[in-house]
Amino acid sequence: MMRLTKKLEAEIKKMMTTYWDSYMQGDLKTWASFLPNDYRNIGTNKEEYWNSKKEIVDYTKKVFKTAVGKADLRKKKIQVIPYDPYFMVHEFGDLYVRADEGWVFYAPCRLSSLLEKTTQGWKILHQHGSYPDSKTEDGEAFGFNELKTENKKLRDAIERRT
């Protein structure tokens, strides 16, 4: 049984920093070295659903030029949770993107990574990333008020056109 010691927690946090830094800097070789062949990921947009290392590496090669140097996760808080023999890493932070006017806040970001220590080092078995639903308010599961407001605006716009 693997216990989460301060030393092990620091090792995992360092590995995750290397993982994300290599991705953000465009170092595909280092970034992909943390992924096993049967890696899984559910991302934040419609097309971000991968069932293998090959799928996500191929996708990443296509989008790297639009992502490298253009995103930064700030004010990051990391939790390491033991699930023997695995570890779950939760990362919370503010995602900033580089726009014409410089760095701008994009959204709060939440990431989870399921890790396994192997003979080849740490491997990330599964990841999920999300942004909180911007339509909801505290205490709401769904943003019904925001949805009603948006629907009314759409109906009003349709009426004005007809």
- Give the model confidence (pLDDT) of 81-121 as tens digits: 999 999 999 999 999 999 888 999 988 999 999 999 999 99
| pLDDT confidence bin for 145, thresholds 50/70/90 | low
**Count of residues for the chain?**
162
| Segment 41-62 mean pLDDT | 91
Q: Which CATH architecture has domain 6-131?
A: Roll (3.10)
Task: For the chain, give the mean pLDDT.
Answer: 88
Higher-confidence position of 47 and 122: 122
CB 92 within 8 A of CB 108: yes
Higher-confidence position of 140 and 157: 157
Structure tokens at 136: 């909801």
β-strand partners of 151: none
Q: What is the pTM of this model?
A: 0.80
Higher-confidence position of 145 and 33: 33
Q: Where are the domains of the chain?
A: 6-131
Amino acid (one-letter) located at 131: Y
CB 122 within 8 A of CB 115: yes
Q: State how far the Cα of 44 lies from the Cα of 71, in Å rounded to an integer.
A: 14
Structure tokens at 155: 């109906």
Instruction: For residue 138, give Cα distances in angstroms to 84, 129, 135, 142, 144.
Output: 34, 21, 10, 10, 13
CB 131 within 8 A of CB 109: yes
Residue 37's pLDDT is 97
> What proportion of the chain, given as a percentage, has pLDDT over 70?
87
Q: State how far the Cα of 99 lies from the Cα of 71, in Å rounded to an integer.
A: 10
Residue 112's pLDDT is 97
Structure tokens at 68: 């490298």
Residue 77's pLDDT is 96
63-86 per-position pLDDT tens digit: 888 888 888 899 999 999 999 999
